[in-house]
Structure 1
């Protein structure tokens, strides 16, 4: 059975850095106080990572592209019926893809609401000076309430799925560490050479520049 490069290095680094950032975001939010300075910076990091993943979903390795794993009803039905088709199992399976998309959507909402949130104690988002009182109030309620609960629920679901598949003999963690998967059928490999990695650095730099521009835009309003 051939070993195939499924996850390119940029995708793997994105996954693990995002996972660590989310854990630290939850901890810093619970600690509060001075830890909110770390919370804010971690939020900027997640903002940049999400922008990176949006672009990498178009430019990244074969199995990292949204076109390859966004589940259609037909693919979802085939997977639930136990189809052995290699393309359903090589990268994100259709159920895993739904979980990934949900996590990206919820984290995007958390980042967006965090930019406008204000707890009136230790944290004020960089775009509060650009927003109305009503929007700030709504963003704060979402960020500290339903948004946070959804993130925790999706993290718990993600971990539970890893354990469930592991008990069924599928190790989902190892391929996200090594990048390679041993498959019964041949499938296209993801590009993961120097050119791909250089492109990822450029995409991440552009994402960081966008985050910096957004924060500075809010800062100019607060100073003016």
Structure 2
């Protein structure tokens, strides 16, 4: 059954590539490339938020955001080996998605105002004072390590699902399909043109914000 459209997989694997590249480029002082990566991350985050409102059923926040207690109850069953019946993120995974989007969005947005105490600065640096820019820069760096911690937690969860429950979540995110019981209804998949339009809109919004500086 098809559960993940190409746009969801683009966001997932795109961010999986861009997050480590952001670290490499800043440690090597490739500031221009680092800035372009930040724009790309912010574009994907904005797009994912829009896709969570207007995209495929499995991507929509209303489809997978459950009460926190339901997420904890789901985790309490992690040790049970059982067939996968989810056509979207499970009750716990949905909150991980939200956490990733909030942290990545905040980190990339703060980068627009950051500086390196030298000649390099984000495009919106001159909209704030040097003291404010320094404070935002410190948070820009700090949030990155929160993201790394969340990545580690995510990878451990995926491994746990594979070992304990026998569910291959990585393959589903690669192929977009799952083997599910016949009584499970598949999600509605949005038209690809809608995804292209929303991605273009997201890129335009980020580009517009960068030019404000």
TM-fit CA distance, 1:90: 2.9
Partner of 1:29: 26
Partner of 2:14: 17
Q: How well do the aligned residues superpose, as a CA RMSD in angstroms?
A: 2.1
SS, match of residue 212 in structure 2: helix
1:107 has 2:104 as partner: yes
Instruction: Give the structure-2-normalised TM-score.
Output: 0.90
Tell me the alpha carbon deviations over residues 25-44 of structure 1, each in whole angstroms, 9 at most, x when there is no partner. 12212222xx2211100000
Q: Aligned partners of 1:119, 1:217: CA distance in 2, in Å?
A: 20
Tell me the alpha carbon deviations over residues 159-197 of structure 1, each in whole angstroms, 9 at most, x when there is no partner. 11111111121111111111111123533323346xx11
TM-fit CA distance, 1:86: 7.2
Tell me the alpha carbon deviations over residues 103-146 of structure 1, each in whole angstroms, 9 at most, x when there is no partner. 111111101110111012363111011112232011111112x2
Q: Give 1:7-86 correspondences, 5 Å limit.
A: 7-32=4-29, 35-73=30-68, 75-76=70-71, 78-80=73-75, 82=77
Greater mean deviation of Cα atoms: 41-50 or 5-14? 5-14
Q: Would the aligned equivalents of 1:127 and 1:215 in 2 still touch at CA under 8 Å?
A: yes
Q: Would the aligned equivalents of 2:58 and 2:188 in 1 still touch at CA under 8 Å?
A: no
CA gap 1:40/1:77 in 2 versus in 1, 3 angstroms: closer
Partner of 2:158: 162
Q: Would the aligned equivalents of 1:86 and 1:187 in 2 still touch at CA under 8 Å?
A: no
Q: Aligned partners of 2:75, 2:172: CA distance in 1, in Å?
A: 22
Number of residue pairs the alignment of both structures matches: 209
> Gaps spanning 5+ residues in structure 2: where?
none
Q: Would the aligned equivalents of 1:9 and 1:192 in 2 still touch at CA under 8 Å?
A: no
Partner of 2:170: 173
